[in-house]
Amino acid sequence: MPENAGRVLLAYSGGLDTSCILAWLIEQGYEVYAFMADVGQEEDFEAARVKALKVGAKKFFLKDLKREFVTELIYPAVQANCIYENVYLLGTSLARPVIARGMIEVAEQEGCDFVSHGCTGKGNDQVRFELAFYGLKPDIKVVAPWRIPVFYNRFPGRQALLQYAAEKNIPVVQTASKPWSTDENLFHISYEAGILEDPNTTPPDDMWKLTSSLEAAPATPERITIEFKAGLPIKVVADDKVYTDAVDIFDALNALGRKHGIGRIDIVENRFIGVKSRGCYESPGATILRAAHVDLEGLTLDRNVRALRDQFTTVAFSRILYNGHFFTPEREFITSAIPTSQRTVNGIVRLKLYKGNVVIEGRESEEGLYDSQQSSMDELGGFEPTDASGFIAIESIRIKKWAQANNRKGQGSVAREDVYGARA
């Protein structure tokens, strides 16, 4: 028997990789505990528990983290309109801080010397998990098998893992017909690797798990309302049903989005590690919620507050989440500004869900920033048109000076420009 190397808590998914890693860690002399987080994925947790213990885990821990996932990660991201590279709603990134925190709590409770995970050496998740571990417990030690040469040289590909699983009598589900990797939580599901590594390969119809195809989505639109208070959804009304609990609201929006084919994307993104990656995602409820929130802000949020939030909080918080910098001083600084920016984001948005589309049909609020009389084209409403002359005069000072300077240099503003902006 190998010498005892210490007690390690493994982030366990029940799949091929982490089951083989569990067995390999035991082989290396570790006493292995298995950890699973319930963040809303559709999973047979009891089957995973039985499997982990059968492979050799000393203990199995399951933590229900759905509520804190919604209230502490998803909702602040919604308030900040977080998005990465203008399309990805950060579903995988959002779950990592609560999972890492759950792991560290168990590691401290059980006196574990190490934590471990099955993330690849090319991916973002290894960074997200490990930076979170160190941000929570600076002295924790991490075992990352996919960065250990003796491990990745022994298991250069899936076939080697399958062979090892057979040798160790580890039950696995063959997935040759569906050669891609998935990660699922309450917010979304991601697909990558396998045939998806060719960015020109169209995902097969049977890959998508959460959402109906546009062809199969109902031909009749469905109308719902979402009520917000301080930028947070507090009530959803759909089909005469009312949802007010945070988790229930998100579950209801997910069900609606799935039904109507909302929230699919297929992108090539830039990983933090420096590699481009093709990923496919389904984020049904999140897509609906973000559309409603963005719309309500147009009615209720001051122009300059919105511009500053878009420029700084949205961009910075999205990058912080994607890069795994959640347990950092910059995250604390950024998120401290979110509640202030959302104080006036109160009201109701009416939406139509139809074949992949989230259509805003109306919105109302008592905040009073919108004045229908003032904006009307049929009455002055307290706005004096002659005031605009002075406004334009002041705004034009620098523009006139710029144009005069160009004219003196023979580069009048009426000259055509080429595609690079140079004067013709």
Nearest to 190 by CA among 201, 182, 198: 182
**DSSP bridge pairs for 324:** none
Our answer to whether residue 240 is catalytic in this structure is no
DSSP 2: P
Q: Which entry of 96, 258, 309, 331 is annotated as an active-site residue?
A: 96
Our answer to whether residue 387 is catalytic in this structure is no
Tokens 């998740």 locate to 125
| 189-192 sheet: strands from edge to edge | 181-184, 189-192, 276-282, 264-270
Burial (0-12, 13-18, 19+ Cβ within 10 Å), 50: middle
CA distance 12 to 59: 12
Q: Which entry of 7, 181, 302, 365 is annotated as an active-site residue?
A: 181
Our answer to whether residue 49 is catalytic in this structure is no
CA distance 245 to 67: 10
State how far the alpha carbon of 107 is from the alpha carbons of 12, 103, 135, in Å: 14, 6, 14
Annotate 288-330 with DSSP letters as a single string: HHHHHHHHHHHHHS-HHHHHHIIIIIIHHHHHHHHHT--SSHH
DSSP 401: H
Q: Which entry of 19, 49, 93, 125 is annotated as an active-site residue?
A: 125
Tokens of 46: 């009891």
CA distance 414 to 247: 58
Q: Which entry of 13, 17, 101, 341 is annotated as an active-site residue?
A: 17
Our answer to whether residue 398 is catalytic in this structure is no
Tokens 């997200």 locate to 128
**DSSP bridge pairs for 88:** 84
Active site residues: 17, 96, 125, 181
